[in-house]
């Protein structure tokens, strides 16, 4: 254990205030508030708190006495509390999801949310801990501020790879800033997170240096933030689109499977079939440039809570009919039952592809399942949380990220939650996907900010890989997204309708598509090297 030669003082109250301010700002930059321009200052209060947290342990403490950097334990605590507040403010929807659909009592659902926040906030705490280890007692802890950006990215990488929940990575907030977000095609979203931390660290440095140097640094930091944010005001050129898809928004409620009577099931199938064939006069939404095209090259049905099983003759017949009537390929979310002739059954959350001749030609099985939503990890420990899985299904994981082939066109199909994993989605493009298709059921989130947060993360996948993205959701947002991450056309939420969406195919690959999370790993190496080099100094202080 490392001990310091100076006596440890208490955390100053101003540090707690700064931590609270930082947490609030981090909440506001993501939907629903979506004040993403605040991202340029959101982490600066936390950095200042970490580097000016501790009172010297003197008998006569006054405000004029210089505050010192937090000890590692204090820094971890400060950043950890910030993380707890941030997760509670952005992922509050976990409570209603577990309570309404998971069968948990209000108390149990609230307990799950608290445990979730306590767990994921460990990564914020880790960031604070590393920053404190890199800090010194210089005028503004230059090393800590210079290394804060790569440390933040390294921690985001750990959250993605170790915990498997990279929800709302910092760079996601800038997806609407098109000139800046293009960095993601080279570095992935992590490059944007790095850029945001650079500005925040510069702002923190400006506020920590001696007064005579403060003005110039402050002007430079604020100027950089304004210039980088100004990109959101720039209009990028439109992408030409020469393909059309009918995206069916089913708007199917999440009800118990026992409530699906034969009549209700048949009526739902008929309505979705009618929506899938706009040439028959069914109501649909069209993009301004969709023209009078009578046939869509692709018809898509979303992931939904309906009991649409791949081996159900009624369901198969409906999709085959749609394919033949429209002369289109049909892609639909369903459940695949596979028993291998053994006791018990294996379930997959799947997307099935049907040819224009009505033949079922291929399917994609969801690889990255939602913990506690589609399976329960460590069932012996978390058996109490099995309610939501019973509502949705206890699924097994697929194994392939190969595109589905529709007459020579590679469809990069991923389902719902998978869209938040940058490296996993880019593998579809690397393997030949010419357009991305995300099937999702965001109905579990209700009207909380989760559906909008999910939408932003999905859009970033289009930017990273320079691909059009067709988003087909059960309750919305159903949309067509261009390679700049812009929503070109969308359907209103909570409506049973169809969107005539334009898109184009691409065979080119970005640097990020080819090389993946190289930048994030580089940041991790830099962070570890800096800690290793700092180790002799820490030993001398022991």
Can you read off the two tokens belonging to residue 258?
Answer: 């026992």
Read off the pLDDT of residues 207-229 as tens digits, 9 standing for 90 and up: 988 776 788 889 999 999 999 99
**In this structure, how many other beta carbons lie within 10 angstroms of the beta carbon of residue 423?**
17
Question: pLDDT tens for residues 55-113?
Answer: 766 544 444 457 788 999 999 999 999 999 999 999 999 998 888 877 788 999 999 99
The pair of three-digit structure tokens given for residue 298, joined into one six-digit string: 């692709």
CA 542 from centre of chain: 41
Can you give the pTM of this predicted structure? 0.90
Q: What is the pLDDT of residue 479?
A: 97
91, 156, 366, 418: the catalytic one is: 366
Within 276-375, where are the H helices? 313-326
d(CA 247, CA 503): 12
Active-site residue, selected from the candidate residues 416, 418, 430, 464: 416
Mark whether 416 is an active-site residue.
yes
Active site includes 366?
yes
Catalytic residue status for 257: no
> Tokens representing 479?
């949309």
DSSP 507-541: ----HHHHH-SHHHHHHHHHHHHHHHHHHHHHHHT
Dihedral over alpha carbons 285, 288, 291, 296 (to 10 degrees): -50
Please name the helix (run of DSSP H) or strand (run of DSSP E) that holds residue 347, with its range, or none: strand 346-354
Task: Map residue 35 onto helix, strand or coil.
Answer: coil
Q: What distance in Å separates the CA atoms of residue 181 and residue 337, rounded to the nearest whole number?
A: 41
In what order do the strands lie in the sheet containing 243-249? 285-286, 497-503, 243-249, 298-301, 329-338, 346-354, 360-365
**Would you call 496 exposed, middle or buried from its count of C-beta atoms within 10 A (0-12, 13-18, 19+)?**
middle
**Rounded alpha-carbon distances, angstroms, from residue 75 to 10, 123, 142, 330:** 12, 12, 17, 54
* Closest alpha carbon to 440 in 424, 457, 460: 457
- Domain boundaries, given as residue ranges, for the chain: 13-58+66-235+518-540, 243-503
> Diameter of the chain by CA atoms?
86
C-alpha neighbours within 13 Å on the C-beta side of residue 159: 25
CB 247 within 8 A of CB 300: yes
Structure tokens at 402: 């190969």
CA proximity to 145, closest of 1, 44, 265? 44
pLDDT for residue 393 = 57
Token pair of 287 as six digits:
């993009």
The DSSP 8-state label assigned to residue 162 in this structure reads I
Could you tell me the two tokens for 516?
């993946």
Contacts of 505 (CB under 8 A, 6+ apart): 243, 409, 434, 435, 468
Separation of alpha carbons 34 and 533, rounded Å: 39
The CATH class for the domain spanning 243-503 reads alpha beta
Looking at residue 281, its pLDDT comes to 42
Residue 412 main-chain phi, psi, to 5 deg: -85, 95
Residue 475 confidence (pLDDT): 94
Among the listed residues 303, 374, 418, 464, the single catalytic one is 303
Is residue 510 classed exposed, middle or buried when 0-12, 13-18 and 19+ CB atoms within 10 A define those classes?
Answer: buried
The pair of structure tokens assigned to 488 is 């070109």
- For residue 377, the 8-state DSSP code is S
- Angle at alpha carbon of residue 200, lines to 195 and 201, rounded to 5°: 95
Low-confidence ranges of the chain (pLDDT < 50): 1-7, 59-64, 280-294, 389
What angle is formed at CA 153 by the lines to CA 147 and CA 156, rounded to 5 degrees? 140
- Residue 370: the pLDDT is 84
């Amino acid at each position: 254990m490392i001990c310091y030669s100076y006596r440890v003082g208490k955390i100053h109250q101003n540090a707690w205030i700064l931590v609270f301010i930082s947490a609030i700002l981090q909440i506001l930059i993501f939907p629903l508030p979506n004040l993403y321009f605040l991202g340029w200052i959101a982490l600066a209060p936390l950095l200042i708190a970490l580097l000016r947290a501790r009172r010297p342990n003197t008998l006569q403490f006054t405000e004029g006495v210089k505050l010192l950097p937090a000890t590692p334990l204090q820094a971890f605590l400060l950043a950890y509390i910030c993380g707890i507040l941030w997760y509670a403010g952005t992922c509050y929807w976990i409570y209603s999801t577990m309570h309404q659909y998971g069968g948990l009592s209000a108390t149990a659902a609230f307990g799950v949310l608290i445990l979730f926040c306590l767990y994921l906030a460990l990564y914020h705490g880790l960031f604070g801990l590393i920053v404190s280890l890199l800090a010194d007692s210089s005028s503004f802890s230059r090393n800590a501020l210079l290394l804060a950006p790569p440390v933040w990215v390294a921690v985001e990488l750990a959250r993605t790879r170790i915990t498997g929940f990279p929800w709302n990575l910092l760079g996601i907030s800038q997806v609407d800033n098109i000139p800046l977000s293009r960095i993601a095609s080279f570095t992935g979203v992590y490059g944007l997170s790095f850029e945001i931390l650079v500005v925040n660290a510069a702002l923190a440095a400006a506020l920590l240096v001696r007064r005579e140097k403060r003005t110039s640094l402050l002007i430079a930091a604020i100027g950089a933030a304004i210039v980088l944010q100004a990109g959101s005001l720039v209009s990028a050129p439109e992408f030409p689109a020469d393909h059309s898809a009918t995206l069916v928004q089913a708007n199917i409620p999440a009800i118990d499977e026992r409530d699906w009577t034969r009549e209700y099931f048949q009526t739902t199938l008929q309505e979705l079939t009618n929506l899938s064939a706009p040439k028959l006069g069914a109501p649909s939404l069209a993009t301004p440039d969709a023209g009078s095209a009578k046939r869509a090259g692709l018809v898509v049905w979303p992931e939904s809570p309906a009991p649409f099983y791949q081996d159900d003759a009624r369901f198969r017949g409906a999709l085959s009919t749609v394919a033949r009537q429209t002369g289109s390929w049909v892609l639909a979310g369903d459940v695949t039952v596979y028993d291998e002739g053994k006791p018990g059954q294996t379930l997959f959350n799947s997307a099935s592809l049907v040819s224009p001749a009505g033949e079922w030609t291929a399917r994609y099985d969801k690889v990255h399942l939602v913990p506690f939503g589609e399976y329960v990890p460590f069932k012996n420990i978390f058996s109490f949380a099995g309610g939501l899985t019973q509502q949705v299904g206890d699924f097994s994981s697929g194994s392939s990220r190969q595109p589905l082939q529709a007459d020579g066109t590679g469809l990069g199909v991923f389902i719902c939650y998978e869209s938040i994993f940058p490296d996993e989605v880019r593998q579809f493009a690397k393997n030949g996907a010419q357009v991305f298709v995300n099937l999702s059921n965001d109905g579990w989130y209700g009207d909380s900010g989760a559906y909008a947060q999910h939408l932003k993360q999905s859009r970033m996948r289009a930017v990273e890989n320079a691909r059009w993205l067709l988003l087909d959701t059960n309750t919305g947002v159903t949309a067509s997204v261009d390679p700049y991450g812009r929503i070109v056309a969308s359907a209103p939420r909570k409506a049973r309708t169809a969107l005539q969406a334009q898109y184009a195919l691409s065979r080119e690959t970005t640097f990020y598509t080819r090389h993946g999370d190289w930048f994030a790993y580089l940041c991790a190496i830099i962070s570890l090297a800096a800690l290793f080099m700092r180790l002799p100094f820490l030993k001398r202080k022991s």
